[in-house]
Amino acid sequence: MKLIVGLGNPGDKYQKTRHNIWFVIIDQYVNSNSIGSFSYDNKYGWEICVGEIPLNPPSKRGTEKVYFLKPMEYMNRSWQAVQKLMNFYKIEAKDLLVLHDDIDLWTGVVKLKFGWGLAWHNWLKDIAEKLGTKDFYRVRIWVDRPNHPAQDVADYVLWNLRKEEIERIQDKYLEIEWLIGEFLSN
């Protein structure tokens, strides 16, 4: 079993912000691969989609169950949903992929990392603390830094993406899909 978590903030107010780019990407991945659709779970306050993904390379089992999760808590509380789902299904940290934005990457960069430093990402630190390890996968996508050094980063990541920024991210979609495939084949 694998778990892929797209981090973001709930609500229309945040829908097109830098922090929420992964809600858009995870929706696109699930739709373009005909995996299913997300449904809201009132009990846990998350959106979830469960699918069977063909293994690559194919094995005797043929498919693997994958949970796609969008925590409907704010970004800094997303660890709660991740921890609950992983505990309930006994998913190991090595089978977790967290998709998140990163202002420290150069424009146009998307990276898959395993067990790397967590930098300033407090919500990633919270996930690692609750899991007792930082040995899980992450895909990071650039969202650039604020243009002005005095501009607050926390406010900046909650600004809406401009049309050209959305287009640049969409241009990276096939690379993102390939990185997700790399995670699933591990």
pLDDT digits 0-9 by tens, 9-55 = 888 888 877 777 788 889 999 999 899 999 999 888 899 999 988 76
pTM for the full predicted model: 0.86
Domains in the chain, number: 1
Query: How far apart are alpha carbons 50 and 95 in whole angstroms?
Result: 15
Query: How far apart are alpha carbons 75 and 136 in whole angstroms?
Result: 18
pLDDT of 150 reads: 63
Query: How far apart are alpha carbons 125 and 117 in whole angstroms?
Result: 9
Q: Is residue 19 flagged as an active site residue?
A: yes
Output the domain CATH number for residue 135.
3.40.50.1470
Taking only the tens place, the pLDDT of each residue in 48-95 is: 999 988 766 555 567 889 999 998 887 777 788 888 999 999 999 999
Domain of residue 62: give its range: 2-185
Taking only the tens place, the pLDDT of each residue in 153-179 is: 666 666 677 787 778 778 888 898 999
**Minimal CA–CA distance to 23: which of 101, 104, 82, 91?**
101
